[in-house]
Every structure is written in C-alpha cells, then in structure tokens.
Chain A
Amino acid sequence: MKFVTVILFLFVNFNIVLSQDKTKAVSFNASINGEKLQLDYNYAFGDDSISFSNLKFYISDIKFYRDEEFIGSIGKKNFLIDFSQPLTQLILLDSISNVHYNRIEFNLGTDSLDNVSGAMSGDLDPIHGMYWTWQSGYINFKLEGSSKVCPSRNHEFNFHIGGYLYPFTSMQRLVFEVNQSSDLSFNLDLSKLISIHHLQNEYNIMSPSEKSLLFSKRIVDCINLSK
C-alpha cells in the first residue's frame, strides 16, 4: 500500500515537472499607432500630437476556468499595473502554471469590498496616487497626458476612472478564451481608446459619473489578447 502511494506521489510530481513549460505569466502592454507605448513621448496623431505621462490601472481577482469548471486563482487579489514601473506589467502565475485551462477572467478595477474597507497597504496603498482623497474609493484606471487639441490648462487631459457605487460602478469584468500553451499578453490599444474619444470635447473625467461609466466600458473594448 505504502509502495503504491510512493509511486503515485512520484508520478504526480513528475507530471508537474513535465508540464511546467505552460503559461507562467500574464502581462499587460499598451500600444499607440501600433507601436508599444512609451511614456512622455510625442506621438503623431492625425495632424496633431499626443503624449502620455501616466498610465496606471488595477487588475483584480484573476481566475482560470476549464470550460465551466473553476480551476484556480492567484493568491494575490489586486495588481496595480503602472507603466512607469515596467515590472508591474508582469503578473507571475506560480500557482497556476501546471493546470489546464481555456478561459481567464479578471476585473479591470477594484471591487466594492476593497473600496469600503479603510486603509490598506501593498498595491492598494494610497501612496500610489490611485485613491481619491476628497471622496472614498479607488481610481481604477488613470490615463494622463497632453495634446494640443485639449483646450485645457497646459493642454492636459486627465482620465481618472473609478467609482464603486451604483449606478456608476466602473469595475468591469473581462473574459478571454485562451490557448494555454503560451504566456498570456494583453494589449490596451490607446489609439482606439483616444480616437473614439474626442479629446477637444472631453479631456477631464475625474469623478464617478455617467461619462466615467461609459469610459470604463470603452476601455474593455480596447483590451485584446495579443496573439
């Protein structure tokens, strides 16, 4: 009996080793005009130019499924993806690497529980500039920059998208069918997000509202799984 267990144990372990070349990380990138985003770089945009100084967003509650069956999640709940700190763009999947799944789900943003639980540390620490101070709640998605088309002071635009209260709940759930043989890399297409978004009319969204809710839905349409 003991012998069988040992064999089984070895077998299982061996299998894990064998399958360890499966997906190991989820990464988040952003592109503009088909190029990889570089912060503080001037991009030609039609007749005008645009530059981005800040891009940060929260990804939370990443879950993996095989068809309808829940397979696993990552120990950590919230990840702040900050494009000024490229290391944050990579989420390692230690606990998930060796299981089979064909669907990944995650939130763009933080959930309502984390928005009402007081002072937090780690990725939710307010020092990251992703907590509204004059009101409660996290900014789920922050995009800042400047473009001559904006009639604002210094031609700046500020999109601070968040809000956890109905009806302006801006957290969005994303679902992707995946092929688990490769790393998962997601891309946010800023040309799509900003071109549909007429900068000369709308350049400041800084509190939860109908506008921020629509913007949060548009972000979802601009995130794709890179092939």
Chain B
Amino acid sequence: MKVSLIFVFVILIFLMGSFCVYKYQLDYPNYFPAVKYDFSRNPLDENTIQLGRKLFYDPILSADQSISCASCHSPFNAFAHTDHSLSHGIQDQIGQRNAPALFNLAWHESFMWDGAINHLDVQALAPISHSKEMASSIQDVITRLNSSSEYRELFFKTYHDSLISSERILKSLAQFQLTLISANSRYDSVRQGKVEFNLQERNGYHLFIKHCNSCHTEPLFTNHQFKSNGLSVDTTLNDYGRWNITKMPSDSLLFKVPSLRNLSYTYPYMHDGRFNKISQVIDHYSNGIDRSVNLSKELNNPILLSSNEKVDLISFLLTLNDKAFVFNPKHQFPKKIN
C-alpha cells in the first residue's frame, strides 16, 4: 500500500515537472484585461511557437517564394510596414490597405481593419490566398512544406507525427503571433510604479483621457470596436470599412480602432496610411474631422487643443513606445531552430 502511494506521488511530481517544461505561460501585466483568445483549443507550447515563428518569416508561404508574413509585418516596426502607405505584396503589387502592427492579438475579437476575420487562426488564410499578397493557397503551402525535409522534421518534433495539415500550420502561426505582447513601455513602468510621468507627459495623459480614451482605451489603447474618427473617403480607394462586411448603412466608414502603442515604429497611420506623422494625426483630431461622414459620437464635441497641449499630448503618446518589445530577439527572424 505504502509503496504504491509513493509510486503515485513520484508520478505526480513527474507530471508536474513536465507541465513546467512544456506549458508556455503568456506573460502580461495584471492590469491587462482577460484575454479573448480561447487557448484551450490551441494551448501554447514552445515547439509550436517556434514552428510558427519559422513559418512567419519564411517566403515558402507565397506562390513564388518571395514574400513572407514579415515582408509586410516587420519586427522592427512593431510588425507593421512603414515603407508604403498601402501594403506591398507579390510582384510589387499594391494592396488596398495599410498593414497594421501586430501585438496583443490575444485580446482582439476580430481582425483586419473591417473585422472581416473573426479568429486569429484563420487570419493567415487571407494573405496566403490574396492575389496581391502571397498569391498562393493553403493546399499549395501544404505541398511545398511537405517537400521540405526540414519542415517534415519540425512538424514531427512539434506534433509527434509528420502530418502537415492546414490546422497545424494555422495554429502554429497563431501561437507565434499570440506571444507578441507589448507591455513594457514607459507608460507600463508608470503603471507599475517604477517611474513617474514628467509634467508634460502627465498633462498629455489628462488630455488623452479626456479626448481619446473612449476609443483608444488604456491599457491596450483600443476598445477593439468599429468607429469613425472623421476621415473623409479616399475616392481612389472607396473603402467603406465595416460596411463591406455587414452591408449596414450604420457601419459605413467604420474601421477597427487601432492600438496607440508603438506609434513611433508603425507610421504611416490610418487604414490607408494617409498620415506620416503623429502631429498630422493630432491636427486631424483638432481641426480636420469631416463631420459629414458617419462620425462616431465620441467625437461629437470638437477637440480644442492649444499648440502646447498638442506637444503635451504627443509626449504622452511617445510613452507608449515599447522598445523592449520591438527589439525583443525572441520575436525576430529565427537564426536556427532545433
């Protein structure tokens, strides 16, 4: 009896040990809200994350093997794209929208500027299949990966058999992207009581709370809703945002509120990349809002800012830059994995 108890105990210890090794814990501050991603359907695991990271940086996903996810989502731009206002894909084709930054995706309820995609796992199907992005298909990606002995090995290592399926490709890409967490900005240090805002930043913070926080809600700096911030339609694109998906007039020209973390790395701004500088964005909110469009009610009252206040607001926004995130080597091109 005693022997068997000891045996059970040893087994338990062993199991706990293996959990510590294999279970990957997402690290984020306690003032962040609860995550939205359902990790129970895709539990994080170090090998799967590394497989996803390799896929993210590998042009093998595109038809002519020239474009990777990182071509448009560069780690040094907080995974946005800064050379062009509109994204730039296979054979130099120009897309319809500005590539958004990728971080804190576990808190998103929908993806793309118009929320066309409802789950991170299936998001990658869009760029893989888009004729102006990677111009391939998930079937072709499976075929290409299957012909690579390196990938067959990696899938074996991750899943304990070498089957390369769309579910595995998509879920591993999602896992890598879920680890992209930005929570180490100066703002975060202030939240954690490690440092204090200077006078300018504190003034800027108060202006931010008054004018911007209703949509760009802290600590993620987005409420993840669809809103109009009064941009007039670019008639060369005629992009009506959320309306494209729901066809409801009340959704015309609504776009997903982007996070304001890492703005110094993610220019140009807005869904069509129409602004290159933060100061242009502030000018838009203070005197450029087009009130003839379907403007969201949070912006009904004009935002009056003196030039000093504009400077203060910008100095607060700069505290949202997260250098530790942008230069985190764990997120960059994988030199070699095994």
Contact = CB atoms under 8 A, between A and B. Distances in A.
A125 interface: yes
B126 A134 contact: yes
A135 B166 contact: no
Contacts of A134: 116, 126, 129-130
B167 A125 contact: yes
A127 B139 contact: yes
Contact of A133 (B41, B42, B126): B126
B125 interface: yes
A137 B119 CA distance: 10
Given A125-B167, A126-B138, A127-B166, A118 B130 contact: no
Contacts of A125: 165-167
A126 B247 contact: no
Contacts of B142: 127
Interface string A123-157: 00111000101111100000000000000000000
Given A133-B125, A136-B117, A209-B247, 8 more contacts: A118-B41, A119-B166, A126-B122, A126-B125, A131-B122, A134-B126, A135-B116, A136-B119
B246 interface: yes
A152 B302 CA distance: 49
Interface bin, chain B:
20 to 34
Given A126-B125, A165-B246, A119 B117 contact: no
A209 B246 CA distance: 8
A120 B167 CA distance: 6
A227 B245 CA distance: 42
Interface of B is mostly: helix
Interface of B: 38, 41-42, 116-122, 125-126, 128-130, 138-139, 142, 165-167, 170-171, 174, 245-247
26 contacts: A116-B118, A118-B38, A118-B41, A118-B42, A118-B121, A118-B122, A118-B170, A118-B171, A119-B122, A119-B171, A119-B174, A121-B166, A121-B167, A125-B167, A126-B122, A131-B122, A131-B125, A133-B125, A133-B128, A133-B129, A133-B130, A134-B116, A135-B116, A135-B117, A135-B126, A136-B117
Nearest to A116: B118
A136 B165 contact: no
What 7 A-B pairs come out closest when comparing CB atoms?
Answer: A118-B121, A133-B129, A119-B170, A119-B121, A135-B116, A136-B118, A133-B125
B41 A117 contact: yes
A98 interface: no
Nearest to B139: A127
A169 interface: no
B235 to A, nearest CB: 22
A102 interface: no
Given A134-B126, A135-B245, A118 B165 contact: no
Looking at A117, A118, A121, A209, the one whose CB has the most chain B CB atoms below 10 A away is A118
Contacts of B139: 127
Nearest to B130: A134
A115 interface: yes
B72 to A, nearest CB: 16
Contacts of B129: 133-134
B118 A127 contact: no
A136 B166 contact: no
A78 to B, nearest CB: 14
